Amino acid sequence: MVTRMTTAVATALVGGVLAGPVAAQDKKPEFPPWDKVSDGYKKVDPSGDATSSLYTLYVNKKTNDVLAELPRGWDNQKYFVAVTQASGGDFAGLQGPERLVYWRRYDKLLAMLAPELQTRSTGEPESRSSVKRLFTDRVLLDVPIVAMGPSGQPVIDLDNLLVGKARELVGFGGGGGNPRLARIAKAKGFNRNIEVAFEAPGFGGKLATTHYSISLVPKGGSYKPRVADERVGYFMTTYRDLGEYGPNEGKWKRYIHRWNLEKRDPKLKLSPPKEPIVFYVEHTAPVRYRRWIRAGVEYWNEAFREIGFDNAIEVYYQDKSTGAHMEKDPEDVRYNFIRWLNNDISTAIGPSRAHPMTGQILDADIVLTDGWIRAFWRWYNEDMPQVAMDGMTPETMLWFEENPDWDPRLLIRDPVDRERIMLERSHRRDLVAKGEAKLMTDVAMGENPYMQQLSEWMGKDAQLCMAADHLAFDMAFASLMMTDFIERGEDADGNADDADLLDGIPEWFIGPMLADLVCHEVGHTLGLRHNFKASSIYTMDEINSEEWKGKKAMTGSVMDYNPNNFNFKGMWGDTQGDYAMMMVGPYDKWAIEYGYTTGKLDKVLERTAEPELAYLTDDDTTGPDPYARRYDLSKNPIEFATNQMAVVEFQRDRILSDIVKDGQSWSNARRAYSVTLSQQMRMLSMMSNWIGGAHVSRARKGDNDSAPLEVVDPERQREALDFVINKAFYDEAFGLTPELLLHMTVDKWSDWSAGDRSDPTWPVHDRVMGIQASAVSMVMNPTTLSRVYDNEFRTPSDQDALTVAEVMNSFAEAIYTELDADLNGETFTNREPMISSLRRNLQSQMTDRLIALATRDDRRMPRPLRTLAMDHLRRLDGRLEGVLEKADDGQVDEYTAAHLRDLEVRISKALDAMYIIQ
């Protein structure tokens, strides 16, 4: 360990260096004798069927020390050091940081170095020499050689390396904050790898186990790197080749991540592989879900069969009761595992480790958690801010931080949470000022604690998959629909259903959902990135037809975040289509063909422009294409949004009568309404992306006759704008009644469970205002309005286009409608006001926005927006005069009259200020 030295080593050093007079002519031993150093240690025999151990391990169980003798030829070998959080954390079992390293001896020290991989040269000898001189390897750490082992090779203190120097090795604190209390949890040796784990108290004293795998990096072999193409979504290994002197783009070398899959018999049209990709389902996976986990993995075999591989992927169950495959360690890099975590968090992730020189995938583990299933029965509205920010650029998020009154992440939350977030942002900015954090990266996290936790473990550059997080919401929303099916014992088509209930949910529903999720994560382990445009290729009518159901994938890819498909009351024909993807889609098959075919890649890429192969990924979700969106569905998503809002409205009417059952807490009414409100927010966020949008294609010249950019049809944009207005700005959009509000209470528990400590009375005005103000922000932010303004210029003047002026007019007309009302002698009272309390809040909010836009010189906003905002303030000033006359006559209630006078004063002062400035 870092702070201690074994007794044997200390005695040997004292005996060899300090004890007694030494004759000058006697040669001192270079290292202490092995028999003294190894006193108290026991050699670890090779595990399983291994005939030798990559590093020969020696364990002292009394002192919890581990010594390792390096193999012959160690100075000519490269190794992977891979870390897995084995226990003591919410995401235990998840692959973490990894390093490619090699050893170099410096007298009595061994230095561990990381080779320079990002810049290389494959050119002439002169360029290779130059690059080698300029771009050098990096020393990570050094450790003393404690002795020369029985084979005459250097011996190192392995626990000193893996625990004491964990931060230098992999960039984090290792298994614990107190290395003196580290305990050996595992020490196994295999022919080409060693698996060692240490348990230690982490920060705060909680025991945590960190698993380290050191494996020999394979050399040569039959694997051939495959060049990446941006039209097909694969993870990549990228480097700069300065031996290339052609066009600048030519120096960038990109290889996709893929397995080394080869036919056993290349002459056969359909052949088993030489070495199939094998997954083991960990014994912790509940038996009731295992067959669906297996189904999700095996969906991919259909794609591989189409390119000539039979059973390319195999699945086996690890089972504690029978002992099947229990000798295999999930952390062992030789095996690929699907692991199940009971952490009450909605997560699924499928990372893999690829050779950094070639892109060859060497191993992969998938982690599933149980939280998304529990979310079937609950969903917390604290996650609404994440939904509201979906698709927004880091620049927009930063602008919201600079303008917190516009920020949906604050507008939707409780006042206490708002204050906490503001303090956290202030702290983060202090760290940025000190150079300890990157502002844009941290802003883009969206203040999601689970995403932050995952990124801290896996690294901020890791490609995180939030499919399960979103699926948790879909499951919660589905629970409103499923209640009746469960009670009546029917399937989705109304037929008598004798299927099992899995944790209270019909197996015909939860099973395919799980299989879909697993299939998505397996896709990542095959090398595939997300494809968020895949859900745009079919209509709702097609998806919900007999021709599709059970026969065709409902979207182009399982690598999208595909939502539940509810055909509410036959809105799209009489057929309820598949709720989830029941197979891989056409894009998935094409992507697998590109990555794993033995044929010509040019032939595969000829199909790039086919509509079913549309592809955009994570990098595109903050761009202008509204199809590059998580959890949307259909060629015309407003159809999907309309369907979902029909479900929302239907369920709100049933909360008190049907959703809350006899004997249940009335807190379920509040929870159910929160689910519908979250879905409403998701639909508003989704449709706001269409305003100012432009469709993006990755096709190249010659792939098709179309331009790579196409402004979204202005009528589609107007439909989206009308949707946002109608579903956010009017009282009836929220379905609230006094009776419902009087039943929306909370459970009060004094323990640490999920009890709600908030006020039993739901803060109706604060919550509704949060949604409405967020809807305004989703449209009236610099990114969206700049896109609308730029699209005006992109569109020929003789063609129709949505304009910034039209957007502003639409908002103003909808929000201030009452100012133009003809009262016809009608008199309003404080109990029946002319302008409702919700609408007064909205009008005040919009007025604040117009004043801010008119009086501040915000260079990120389109230039004409300032003058347009001032023009609308002038118009409002004129419209208020007529209404205030009626207020003075006593026709208008006190609330409305005070509200209108307040607007008049604020607008007047703003206009005066602008005149002074000018």
Q: Give the separation between CA 851 and CA 909, rounded to whole angstroms.
A: 10
Q: How many CB atoms lie within 10 A of CB 342?
A: 10
Amino acid at 626: P
What is the structure's pLDDT at 26? 58
| pLDDT at 379 (0 to 100) | 44
Lowest mean pLDDT among 316-320, 475-479, 763-767: 475-479
Alpha helices in 569-659 (DSSP H): 586-596, 601-605, 637-654
Q: What is the DSSP letter of 611?
A: G
Could you give the CA distance from residue 899 to residue 883 in angstroms, rounded to a whole number?
11
Band of residue 752 on the pLDDT scale cut at 50, 70, 90: low
Q: Residue 432 has what pLDDT?
A: 72
pLDDT, averaged across the chain: 86
Secondary structure of 236-280 as H, E, C letters: EEEEEECCCCCCHHHHEEEEECECCCCECCCCCCCECECCCEEEE
pLDDT for res 6: 46
pLDDT, position 496? 74
User: For 775-796, how does the pLDDT look when each residue is reduced to its tens digit (9 = 90+)?
Assistant: 999 999 999 999 999 999 999 9
Spatial contact of 365 and 93, defined as CB atoms under 8 Å apart: yes
C-alpha span between 448 and 845 (Å, rounded)? 27
**Lookup: tokens for 900:** 């209108």
Over 90: is that where the pLDDT of 170 sits? no
**Would you state the structure tokens that stand for residue 762, as one six-digit string?**
């739901």
Distance CA 800, CA 715 (A): 9
Q: What does the block give as tokens for 898?
A: 């005070």
Question: Is 323 a residue whose pLDDT tops 50?
Answer: yes
Picking from 252-261, 683-692, 759-768, which range would have the lowest pLDDT averaged per residue?
A: 759-768
The answer to whether residue 440 scores a pLDDT higher than 50 is no
Cα dihedral 136, 141, 146, 148 in deg (nearest 10):
-30
The sign of the torsion formed by the CA atoms of 68, 457, 379, 688 equals negative
H helix intervals, 581-622: 586-596, 601-605
Q: Give the pLDDT confidence score for residue 95 in this predicted structure.
A: 66
pLDDT of residue 5: 46
What pLDDT score was predicted for residue 240?
93
Return the structure tokens found at 217. 């990096």
Question: Is the model's pLDDT at 467 over the cut of 70?
Answer: no
The residue type at 628: A
Give residue 291's pLDDT: 96
Which of 140-144, 205-209, 761-765, 836-840 is the least confident region?
Answer: 205-209
Neighbouring residues of 382: CB distance < 8 A, sequence distance ≥ 6: 413, 417
User: Whole-angstrom Cα distance, residue 918 to residue 913?
Assistant: 9
Which pLDDT band holds residue 345 (cuts at 50, 70, 90)?
low
Which of 360-374, 539-553, 660-674, 675-689 is predicted least confidently? 360-374
Rg (CA), the chain: 32
Q: What are phi and psi of 741, to 5 degrees?
A: -65, -35
Q: How many CB atoms lie within 10 A of CB 183?
A: 16
β-strands 313-317, 277-281: how paired?
Answer: parallel
Give the count of beta carbons closer than 10 Å to the beta carbon of residue 352: 20
For residue 794, which amino acid is it?
A: R
Handedness of CA 904, 909, 910, 914 (dihedral sign): positive
Higher per-residue confidence, 598 vs 296: 296
Nearest to 613 by CA among 585, 634, 640: 585
Give the number of other CB atoms < 10 A from CB of residue 404. 14
Cα–Cα dist 271/274, whole Å = 9
Would the pTM count as exceeding 0.85? yes
Tell me: pLDDT of 384 over 80: no
Q: Are 238 and 120 in contact (CB under 8 A)?
A: no
Express each pLDDT in 868-918 by its tens digit. 999 999 999 999 988 888 777 788 999 999 999 999 999 999 988 876 655
Percent of the chain with pLDDT over 70: 87
Highest mean pLDDT among 261-270, 355-364, 814-823, 908-917: 261-270
Q: Which residue blocks in 489-558 are alpha helix, DSSP H?
A: 507-525, 540-543
d(C-alpha 61, C-alpha 63), whole Å: 6
Buried b (16+ CB within 10 A) or exposed e, 59-91: bbeebbbbbbbbeeebeebbbbbbbbbbebbbb
What pLDDT, on a 0 to 100 scale, did the predictor assign at position 818? 93
Most confident of 433-437, 629-633, 721-725, 864-868: 721-725
Question: 44 and 61 in contact (C-beta within 8 Å)?
Answer: no
Q: pLDDT confidence of 768, banded at 50, 70, 90?
A: very high
Are 80 and 100 in contact by the 8 Å Cβ rule? The answer is: yes
Sheet holding 79-87, edge to edge: 138-144, 109-114, 95-106, 79-87, 207-216, 193-201, 183-189
- Give how far Cα 13 sits from Cα of 7, 9, 31, 33, 722, Å: 10, 6, 8, 9, 82
Residue 252 CA to residue 246 CA, distance in Å, equals: 11
Among the listed ranges 34-48, 131-145, 258-272, 477-491, which one has the minimum average pLDDT value?
477-491
**Residue 677 pLDDT grade (very low, low, confident, very high; cuts 50, 70, 90):** very high
460 Cα distance to chain centroid: 12
pLDDT at 750 over 90: no
Nearest-CA neighbor of 149 among 250, 99, 90, 74?
74
- Residues in Cβ contact with 701 at an 8 Å cutoff, skipping those fewer than 6 apart: none
In angstroms, the CA 218 to CA 150 distance is 26
The distance in angstroms from the start CA to the end CA of the chain is 71
Helix 804-815, helix 864-888: angle, nearest 10: 20
Give the whole-angstrom CA distance, residue 619 versus residue 626: 13
Q: Is the pLDDT of residue 719 over 80?
A: yes
pLDDT at residue 10, rounded to an integer: 43
**CA angle at residue 330 from 326 to 334, to 5 degrees?**
100
Most confidently modeled of 212-216, 225-229, 394-398?
Answer: 225-229
Phi, psi of 480, deg, nearest 5: -65, -35
Residue 232's pLDDT is 97
Has residue 359 got a pLDDT over 50? yes
Q: Are 514 and 292 in contact (CB under 8 A)?
A: yes
Structure tokens at 119: 């810049």
Helices (H), 414-463: 415-433, 439-444, 449-458
CA distance 219 to 198: 30
Q: Among 170-184, 187-201, 261-275, whose mean pLDDT is lowest?
A: 170-184
Structure-model confidence comparison of residues 497 and 235, the more confident one: 235
State mean pLDDT over 202-219: 84
Q: Please spell the DSSP secondary structure of 350-386, one letter per residue.
A: --EEE-TTT-BEEEEEEEEESHHHHTTS---GGGHHH
The answer to whether the CB of 863 falls within 8 A of the CB of 799 is no
Average pLDDT of span 628-632: 92
pLDDT at residue 76 tops 90: yes
Q: How many CB atoms lie within 10 A of CB 799?
A: 8
Residues 6+ apart with CB under 8 A from 477: 379, 564, 647, 675, 676, 678, 679
Least confident residue range of 35-44, 448-457, 611-620, 711-720: 448-457
Q: Is the pLDDT confidence value at 456 over 80? A: no
Amino acid at 164: G
CB 568 within 8 A of CB 272: no
* Distance from C-alpha of 199 to C-alpha of 63, rounded to nearest angstrom: 14
The whole-angstrom separation of Cα 538 and Cα 578 is 13
Neighbours of 160 (CB within 10 A): 22
Residue 562 pLDDT: 93
Alpha helices by DSSP H, 689-827: 714-728, 738-743, 764-779, 782-794, 804-815
Taking 50 as the threshold, does the pLDDT of residue 1 lie above it?
no
DSSP 8-state symbol, 113: E
Average pLDDT of the segment spanning 71-87: 88
Residues 47-60: pLDDT tens digits?
877 888 999 999 99
Tell me the per-residue pLDDT of 795-850, one tens digit each, with 9 for 90 and over. Answer: 999 999 999 999 999 999 999 999 988 877 788 999 999 999 999 999 999 999 99
* Nearest of 902, 904, 907 to residue 869 by alpha carbon: 907
* Residue 9: per-residue pLDDT: 44
What single-letter DSSP state applies at residue 552?
S
Sign of the torsion formed by the C-alpha atoms of 592, 594, 598 and 600: positive
Q: Starting at the earlier edge strand, list the strands of the sheet with 56-60.
A: 42-43, 56-60, 65-69, 154-157, 147-148
Out of 288-302, 333-347, 848-862, pick the least confident: 333-347
Q: Quick check: 453 and 90 in contact, CB under 8 A?
A: yes
Name the packing angle between helices 764-779 and 782-794 (round to 10°): 30
93 confidence band (pLDDT: 50, 70, 90): low
